Structure 1
Amino acid sequence: MRTPPEQPIPSRIVVCRDCCCGTPKVPGVDHAQQSARLAENAPVRISDCLGVCEHANVIVVQPSAAGRAAGGRPVWLGLVNDPEATEDIITWVRAGGPGVAPCPDVLDLYTFTPPRRAR
């Protein structure tokens, strides 16, 4: 019996949804829709507080296996509070994400380096 080829591990997305992210503290955002839209395109993990509330809503794009092999590292995105930013993230993840596809210039507006305690 032949074993099917393994599927490559895609980029994964961590969505913060706790004390500030995903709550009415960030008004005008359909948090459930944002999470669902991301999950349509990549594996998504909903996290408790990531400890960087000043950047709510926080999304972390983790590299795929190929991206890690190419030196890709997790990319932290903050203030992701509009559908266009969510779509830009989806486009990047579909293209391969960190280490495989360059981060779109528009997402530079959202990237930040988390403090050591948050990593």
Structure 2
Amino acid sequence: MPEKRGGPVPCRVTVCRDCCCGSAKVTGIDHDEQVAFLRGRVPVRVSACLDVCAQANVIVVQPSTEGRAAGARPVWLGLVNDSAGTEDVADWVRAGGPGVAPMPGVLDLYVFAPPRRPTTGRSRGR
């Protein structure tokens, strides 16, 4: 159920789908099925390239309003190229996500720190 504008924001995921993520360059996973699976369970936004192609497929878990109030920041997950990892992400988000529910230990394998600045010429203002 969507939140009213200005109301609490739920935990949600952003899924990168552009030049590498979601493309034939990443094999062994049905990219459309991955997005459909997540959309059937949690709020999802699909993004253009997040400039971390070496980590394809990238999923960013955005904390809810409650999670942000607890000090949580977005969690970047890379190489999410299997259904088990995708299920673990969905389960965590449904439980509340960053700042609300403990991250399943298995997701530690996917966590990475994004670069502070875009690594390609696609950045705004260039």
Q: Is the 8 A contact 1:10 1:42 kept in 2?
A: no
**1:21 and 2:28 aligned:** no
1:99 maps to which residue?
Answer: 99
**TM (normalized to structure 1)?**
0.91
Deviation for aligned residue 1:9? 2.6
Deviations 1:35-84 (A, max 9, x none): 01111122111100000000000000000110011111100000000000
In structure 2, stretches of 5+ residues that fail to align are: 119-126
SS of the residue 2:117 aligns to = helix
**Paired residues, what number?**
113
Deviation for aligned residue 1:28? 1.5
- The whole-number CA distance in structure 1 between the counterparts of 2:38 and 2:72 is 20
Letter in 2 for 1:107: L
Letter in 1 for 2:84: E
Q: Is the 8 A contact 1:80 1:110 kept in 2?
A: yes
Could you list the runs of 4 or more consecutive aligned residues of structure 1 that deviate by over 4 angstroms after TM superposition?
Answer: none
1:78 maps to which residue?
Answer: 78
RMSD of the TM alignment (CA)?
Answer: 1.2
Q: Which has the higher helix share?
A: 1
In structure 1, stretches of 5+ residues that fail to align are: 1-5
Deviations 1:12-31 (A, max 9, x none): 11000000000000012100
Q: Is the 8 A contact 1:60 1:77 kept in 2?
A: yes
